[in-house]
Amino acid sequence: MKHLSTFGTSSYSLSDLQLFNGVADERVATLLADCPIICVSIGQPVLEAKGRGASLFVLLRGTLGVASDTHADMAQGGTLTILPGECVGELSVLDEEANPSDITALEECDLLVIGANVLWQLIDLSSDVARNLLRLLSFRIRAANAQLRRRRKVGEFYRALSMADGLTCLQNRVWLNDHLPRLIENAHAMDNPLVIVMIDLDHFKHFNDTHGHPAGDDALRVASMTLSDALRPRDFAVRYGGEELMVILPNTNMKGGVLVAQRLCECLQKSVVFGDMRQPLPHITASLGVACLEPGQNACDLIEMADAALYRAKDAGRNRVAI
């Protein structure tokens, strides 16, 4: 630790520092005169230069970098920049915890080091110091809350992204595994009906072999869009895997589920894959299996029932609905 001077005899004035803005009490300057000013080399952690014990650091010269989750301005790889006149470490003093180890000099710095006992004396001595400290803490809290809100929004965005199928934009298996059990639990609890429809595009391997996999991807996208456009806002469409899709119909009984499935079957027949008409128009058809939730069933039971109905539709000649 290198003592350049005491604050009372240095060239720095109280009015230049956020914590002491508007403070005119000479007793404050007297207390600060006993506080050391240390020099921290570029790249050096502040604690390495200062030693142990909670302290508030007032930056007099240079730039500090603070990697801390409690700050909102996390630019430059998660580092908050502290400029001359600003301070850091006030929370460590107030909660009597050690200073964070990730305060580092981005360039050579001079720091006024105010120990915990001195800071408390300053607070008792000057209401202006107390007011400025409260203002700084208010900024810290607002900044932390803003950072948390941004992180929550980013987390929600990536969570939603992880639950959408990249090709079809339908919900994916991750979404299904998370939501279908909850939908079923809610249906049981409220004694509401719930239907799922398993959908398999007919002869899709032959379609791919004939027209190529890019056209097969287009066919899947067209089929998915057809389903989404034909469903109610409360319904869900899922890419179950490969060319197999699923529709979830909350608050729908078997009769209603069959009517929806028949409508979907008809819509798929009319869907257009090759819009330029330069190739023979390959209509998409599908086999659909409908199952209605029964008392005591779980997600696996319901999917198994719908899958069995789907195979009955295939065995009956495809391009149809079975229960």
Catalytic residues: 243
Burial (CB < 10 A; 0-12, 13-18, 19+), residue 110, is buried
Note whether 279 and 243 are within 8 A (CB): no
Distance spanning both ends of the chain, measured CA to CA: 81
Query: Which candidate, 36, 11, 39, places its Cα nearest to that of 108?
Result: 39
DSSP at 89: -
Note whether 100 and 74 are within 8 A (CB): no
Three-state SS at 80 = strand
DSSP at 188: H
Quote the tokens at residue 114: 């105010």
* R_g of the chain, CA atoms, integer Å: 33
Taking the C-alpha atoms of residue 308 and residue 182, their distance in angstroms, rounded to an integer, is 23
State the number of CA atoms in the 13 A half-sphere of 125 facing the CB: 17
* Whole-number Cα distances in Å, 202 to 152, 243, 285, 320: 42, 9, 6, 10
Three-state SS at 267 = helix
- Backbone φ and ψ for 201, nearest 5 degrees, come out as -70, 130
CA max distance for the chain: 97
